[in-house]
Amino acid sequence: MRNTWIICSRELTSYFISPVAYVFIVIFLALAGGLTFFFGKWLDRGQADLQVFFIYHPYLYLFLIPAVGMRLWAEERKSGSMEFLMTLPISTSQAVIGKFLAAWIFVGIALSLTFPIWLTVNFLGNPDNGVIVTAYVGSWLMAGGFLALSSSVSALTKNQVIAFVLAAVICFIFLMSGVELVQAFFRAWAPPRFVEAIAELSFLTNFGDLSQGVIDVRDILFFLSVIAGALFVNILIVEIKKSS
């Protein structure tokens, strides 16, 4: 636990030393804002809620989160610092979880910097702030799911571009697995039970309720188990790669 935290805080500090963090935050805020105002026509709707703000989050994350996650292990492998890190007296799981947590907290910080839009909606009307808090938490959980998937993909390669593309594809599959297009693809060859199971894995479906303020424990558990499962795979990949 102690080591996980030390690694996490080291990583977190290094995010804010580099300009990458600020670039990411600015792009995230610009896109989140832009989508809400221009595509969502938030102000024109005349409703005091953040529905159109959260509705774009899955798509925003689809390429922004792999951009955060791609470097987690690929960069470490490429620069060789992994050899330094992994010969310190820490376990693989401490390293994997520590690095993931740092990235997740970083995304959380970026997400929380969208607070002006929350203030604005409170200025303009009387929103249900409970709904908004639930949606924020749901969005952060979903980001965690994408991030854990990206992190484990990143452990596969030392090439960040490959890590990014692969992660984006895998995130896309998880995001869209409930959508008719993807379902049709699986229905063509897979047994119906499998197709149903795939649909259950959809980030879109699971985020849907949360983003509307409906607290369903199953949705929360879903994201937490995606995170846990992906990090478990991440640890395995790092371990297996030792003997390659």
Which positions touch another protein (CB under 8 A)?
Answer: 2-3, 6-7, 10, 13-14, 17-18, 79-84, 86-91, 242-243
Distance CA(236)–CA(220), nearest Å, equals 24
Question: Whose Cβ is closer to another protein: residue 17's or residue 119's?
Answer: 17
Instruction: Give min distance, CB of 160 to another protein, in A.
Output: 15
| Minimal distance, residue 80 CB to another protein, in Å | 3
- Spatial distance between the Cα atoms of 99 and 77, rounded to a whole number of angstroms: 14
- Tell me the closest approach of the beta carbon of residue 102 to another protein, in angstroms: 13
CB closer to another protein out of 79 and 225? 79
Residue closer to another protein, measured from CB, 2 or 193: 2
* Nearer to another protein (CB atom), residue 17 or residue 181: 17
Q: What share of the chain is helix, strand, coil (3-state, %, to 5)?
A: 80, 0, 20
Least Cβ distance, residue 233 to another protein (angstroms): 19
Inter-CA distances, 212 with 23, 145, 182, Å = 30, 19, 24
Q: Which is nearer to another protein, 14 or 225 (CB)?
A: 14
For 142, the token pair is 């979903």
Provide, rounded to whole angstroms, the least separation between the CB of residue 7 and another protein.
8
